[in-house]
């Protein structure tokens, strides 16, 4: 069937597009607010809008394809469930590598004897008693386990045994690092497993919500989920591998950009509520990142398009700079519900905003609210103070932070509950600033004005207000968004050219460019950085923000039709793709070891080992593609055999990597 509904669930909006994939015609589009407390409401609203524009029957739809920025947003914001990391064969020094300690935060970690050597042989016996003790010690305290074994990609036996044991001891989800990546580098695999474990409940909620809406609307077709490389996964398969949907939304948007803008090469910026995703489109397709997706500062092992994601969007939290004489504002990386949107749903919050303005002394909590995100009640693993605060919010709905947190200790508990995804923050954002300037008026203008007034009277380090009027404050907010957006684009372009990450934004000389007054102060040097390619801007607010960004950068801009639902269009146009890598090493003369998912296998001749590895890689890729929901699967092979000549007649074998890629149609 050629009719496909593409869905893109973002932090603020859920978008839908009905696409005839045979003709490439967008039949209808729809947009609905993402309802985090019940994702089915937003998904259902978007689907209803495209079905209303469709003359046929719901039974004519052959596929629903879902992309989402929820996983990406959760990683950027540091939101997710509480996990327990099981490190097999590592010591505590591993936490100092790959930024693993920062990723783990306050979550539990246990170091278990076991693991393997580089050749796949056991380095120690797996301590199953220690795993049982870890489960007992963390019972009721976590939402998922992450397991990472020493050289598990060379032999996954101990990870697999640990997973089976954990499942026997309870029903808590388990993520094994070797199932997510075949690359070496244990701490970075552990980091990727942690992120996956934290996201399992989030993606499960989204898939379940979408399936319930499909059933209610008579959509009996398969449901697919977009991966971070733009390809598709069958929904049930994706449930256990949610980290693969990191950058799902932006990858779908890239495909949508190529389709909608009719361009093969351009820098693409997709601005959402929480993040801006930037990538280079080359020959109509995104380039894949060789060493894994970089998301919110985390270097993962997730195979994904080469996309840089920064915590900068239309709903970025705006905070005053309260130290130093210059003042100013900071944006993100945390998302907040705009006050204008909050008041359109809960008009009574305007009374609380007005009451805060009536108080002579501004407070840091002015104009800041929280709402509950606990559909199953208060989790048992919260601390006593966190649980009391969560229960209070759960009883009242949207509540001013000032009314529930009068001490620094309580404010810290609020921040932790927001970070755990149990509370949603509402505060002043660039979306509110657009309401103040009159450039966007979909929500409550009065609430945006009140929020701007509260923010404008916040003080800098010498006691001066940040702005004299709400209009000045709004323009400061938007100027900071445009400045930071320009730097993010230039960072991405320089990185693509091989200059390294964050070269513009961290350089004291360059970080001031793309401000309206960047060269107004005089001096002998006029600084500028430009692009040699055009810019395609996507997202609901692209038309409002990116003409200003393009003007600061002096770049040609395209904001295509349906730019506000580009992710949904790209999701509808996706296909299934699975990649597998099998490595072959030589642990001893005359012995070639093939490192397979079910353990290593030794053969005596190199060519026989390579042939076996090719067959295994092709078969595994084909199987994974079919499990992911593919039909008419085709497999292509590539390989990298590393040989060192030691004489005119003989080469020394170092390693071989066999790559298999399986492609197929979804459905």
pLDDT at 522 over 80: no
* Cα–Cα distance measured from residue 397 to residue 401, given in angstroms and rounded to the nearest whole number: 12
Q: Are residues 82 and 69 in the same domain?
A: no
pLDDT at 292 over 90: no
Residue 500 lies in a domain: no
Both structure tokens of 619: 């078969």
Q: Which pLDDT belongs to residue 92?
A: 94
pLDDT at 302 over 60: yes
CA distances from 472 to 189, 322, 476, 478, 546 (A): 47, 18, 6, 10, 20
Say what the pTM is: 0.70
pLDDT in tens, 120-149: 999 999 999 999 999 999 877 888 999 999
Chain centre to alpha carbon of residue 59? 32
pLDDT in tens, 319-371: 998 776 666 899 989 999 999 999 999 999 999 999 999 999 999 999 999 99
pLDDT at 578 over 80: yes
> Is the separation of the CB atoms in 572 and 21 below 8 Å?
yes
pLDDT in tens, 410-429: 899 899 999 888 899 999 99
pLDDT in tens, 435-469: 999 999 999 999 999 999 999 999 887 788 999 99
Q: Are residues 166 and 288 in the same domain?
A: no
pLDDT at 39 over 90: no
* Cα–Cα distance measured from residue 21 to residue 572, given in angstroms and rounded to the nearest whole number: 8
Q: Are residues 432 and 349 in the same domain?
A: yes
* Cα–Cα distance measured from residue 282 to residue 568, given in angstroms and rounded to the nearest whole number: 21
pLDDT at 575 over 90: no
Q: Which of 198, 225, 255 is the last residue of a domain?
A: 198
Q: Are residues 287 and 326 in the same domain?
A: no
Q: Are residues 139 and 207 in the same domain?
A: no
> Is the separation of the CB atoms in 622 and 628 below 8 Å?
no
Terminal alpha carbon distance of the chain:
9
Q: Are residues 70 and 215 in the same domain?
A: yes
DSSP letter at 44? H
Per the listing, tokens 């580089």 go with 118
What burial letters (b/e) apply to 366-380, b meaning 16+ CB within 10 Å? bbbbbbbbbeeebbe
What's the CATH number where 270 sits? 3.30.420.40
Strands 144-149, 83-88: pairing kind: parallel
436 versus 573: the higher-pLDDT residue is: 436
Q: Which domain holds residue 648?
A: 576-666
Q: What DSSP element (H or E) covers 425?
A: strand 423-427
Q: Which of 572, 594, 627 is the last residue of a domain?
A: 572
Residue 555 lies in a domain: no
Per the listing, tokens 């954002």 go with 429
Residue 489 lies in a domain: no
Candidates 285, 282, 286, 284; CA nearest to 306 is 286
What's the CATH number where 625 sits? 3.30.110
Longest CA–CA span in the chain (Å) reads 89
Q: Are residues 259 and 337 in the same domain?
A: no
Number of structural domains found in the chain = 4
Q: Which pLDDT belongs to residue 79?
A: 76
CA distances from 488 to 160, 279, 285 (A): 41, 11, 21
* Cα–Cα distance measured from residue 295 to residue 245, given in angstroms and rounded to the nearest whole number: 12
* Cα–Cα distance measured from residue 543 to residue 170, given in angstroms and rounded to the nearest whole number: 50
Q: Are residues 68 and 83 in the same domain?
A: no
DSSP 348-392: THHHHHHHHHHSSS--TTTT-EEEE--TT-S-TTS-HHHHHHHHH
Phi first, then psi, for residue 188 (nearest 5°) are -75, -35
Residue 633 has a CB neighbour count (10 Å cut-off) of: 19
pLDDT in tens, 149-161: 999 999 999 999 9
SS3 516: coil
> Is the separation of the CB atoms in 339 and 356 below 8 Å?
no
Residue 656 lies in a domain: yes
């Amino acid at each position: 069937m050629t009719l496909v509904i593409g869905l893109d669930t973002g932090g603020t909006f859920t978008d839908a597009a009905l696409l005839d994939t045979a003709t490439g015609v967008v039949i209808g589009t729809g947009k609905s607010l993402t309802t985090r407390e019940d994702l089915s409401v937003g998904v259902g609203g978007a689907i209803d809008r495209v079905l209303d524009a469709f003359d046929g029957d719901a039974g004519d739809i052959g596929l629903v394809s879902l992309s989402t920025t929820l996983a990406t947003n959760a990683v950027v914001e540091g939101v997710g469930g509480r996990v327990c990391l099981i490190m097999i064969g590592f010591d505590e020094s591993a936490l100092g590598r790959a930024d693993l300690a920062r990723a783990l935060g306050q979550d539990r970690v246990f170091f278990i004897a076991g693991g393997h050597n580089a050749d796949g042989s056991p380095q120690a016996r797996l301590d199953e008693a220690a795993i049982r003790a870890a489960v007992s010690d963390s019972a009721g305290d976590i939402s998922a386990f992450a397991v990472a074994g020493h050289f598990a990609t060379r032999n996954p036996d101990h990870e697999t045994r640990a997973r089976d044991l954990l499942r026997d001891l309870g029903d808590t989800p388990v993520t094994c690092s070797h199932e997510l990546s075949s690359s070496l580098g244990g701490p970075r695999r552990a980091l990727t497993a942690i992120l996956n474990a934290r996201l399992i409940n989030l993606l499960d909620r989204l898939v379940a919500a979408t399936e319930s809406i499909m059933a209610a609307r008579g959509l009996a077709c398969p449901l697919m989920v977009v991966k971070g490389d733009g390809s598709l996964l069958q929904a049930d398969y994706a449930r256990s591998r949610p980290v693969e949907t990191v950058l799902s939304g932006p990858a779908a948007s890239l495909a949508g950009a190529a389709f909608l803008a009719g361009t093969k090469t351009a820098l693409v910026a997709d601005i959402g509520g929480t993040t801006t995703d930037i990538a280079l489109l080359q020959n109509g397709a995104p380039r894949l990142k060789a060493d894994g997706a970089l998301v919110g500062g985390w270097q993962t092992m997730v195979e994904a398009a080469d996309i840089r994601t920064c915590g900068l969007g239309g709903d970025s939290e705006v905070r005053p700079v309260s130290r130093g004489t210059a003042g100013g504002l900071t944006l993100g990386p945390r998302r907040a519900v705009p006050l204008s949107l909050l008041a359109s749903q809960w008009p009574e919050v305007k009374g609380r905003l007005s009451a805060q303005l009536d108080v002579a002394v501004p407070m840091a909590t002015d104009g800041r609210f929280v709402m509950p995100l606990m559909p199953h009640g208060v989790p048992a693993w919260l601390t006593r103070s966190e649980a009391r605060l969560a229960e209070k919010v759960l009883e009242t709905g949207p509540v001013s932070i000032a009314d529930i947190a009068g001490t620094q200790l309580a404010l810290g508990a609020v921040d932790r509950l927001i970070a755990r995804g149990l509370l949603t923050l509402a505060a002043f954002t660039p979306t509110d600033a657009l309401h103040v300037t009159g450039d966007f008026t979909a929500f409550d203008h009065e609430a945006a004005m009140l929020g701007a007034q509260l923010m404008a009277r916040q003080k800098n380090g010498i006691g001066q207000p940040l702005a004299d009027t709400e209009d000045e404050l709004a323009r400061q907010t938007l100027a900071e968004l445009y400045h930071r957006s320009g730097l993010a684009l230039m960072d991405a372009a320089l990185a693509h050219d091989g200059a390294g990450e964050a070269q513009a934004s961290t350089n004291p000389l360059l970080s001031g460019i793309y401000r309206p007054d960047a060269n107004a102060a005089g001096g002998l040097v006029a600084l500028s950085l430009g692009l040699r390619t055009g810019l395609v801007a996507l997202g609901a607010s692209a038309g409002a923000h990116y003409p200003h960004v393009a003007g600061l950068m002096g770049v040609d801009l395209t904001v295509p039709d349906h730019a506000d639902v580009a992710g949904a269009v790209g999701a509808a146009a996706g296909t299934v793709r699975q990649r597998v890598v099998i490595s072959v090493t030589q642990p001893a003369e005359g012995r070639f070891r093939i490192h397979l998912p079910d353990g290593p296998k030794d053969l005596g001749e190199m060519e026989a080992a390579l042939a076996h590895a090719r067959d295994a890689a092709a078969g595994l890729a084909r199987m994974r593609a079919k499990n992911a929901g593919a039909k008419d699967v085709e497999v292509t092979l590539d390989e990298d055999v590393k040989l060192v000549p030691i004489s005119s007649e003989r080469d020394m074998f170092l390693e071989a990597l066999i790559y298999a890629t399986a492609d197929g149609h979804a459905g």
